[in-house]
Amino acid sequence: MDAEMDCVCYCGASSTLKTGWTDENLGRRFWGCGNYGKWIRGCKFFCWYDPPVNARSKVVIVGLHRRVASMEKERKKEKSLEILVLVVFFVGFILGKIFS
């Protein structure tokens, strides 16, 4: 039987395919109810779409995810520093023009 057919929520809302981002299930897809997280008629139904990941793959995927997140954070810092240098250079240039 198709995984889609196995995962029908009993509240009546259609389920959508989502991706888990917890360390335990990083990148593992699941069917989540369309009413998940709603204040009124909220529903917590979900059903795994992907099979469980073996322990070694989990460690590798989590490690890679953390490295990418760290690199993205460093890149944002570098970008902020580049903008600051450009602003300081621009202000210095304008002040140099005014007072020369």
Which residues contact Zn ion (rule: CB under 5 A)?
9, 11, 13, 33, 35, 43, 45
What is the secondary structure of 43-78 as a DSSP string? ---EEE-SPPPPHHHHHHHHHHHHHHHHHHHHHHHH
Judge whether 43 and 9 are in contact, CB under 8 Å: yes
Q: How far is the CB of 21 from Zn ion (least distance, A)?
A: 21
Q: Which is nearer to Zn ion, 27 or 34 (CB)?
A: 34
* Alpha-carbon distance values, 100 to 16, 28, 87 (Å): 65, 63, 20
Q: How far is the CB of 55 from Zn ion (least distance, A)?
A: 31
Q: How far is the CB of 8 from Zn ion (least distance, A)?
A: 9
Q: Which is nearer to Zn ion, 16 or 80 (CB)?
A: 16
CA distance 58 to 55: 5
Q: Which is nearer to Zn ion, 13 or 61 (CB)?
A: 13
DSSP code, position 13:
P
Q: Which is nearer to Zn ion, 42 or 63 (CB)?
A: 42
Q: How far is the CB of 74 from Zn ion (least distance, A)?
A: 40
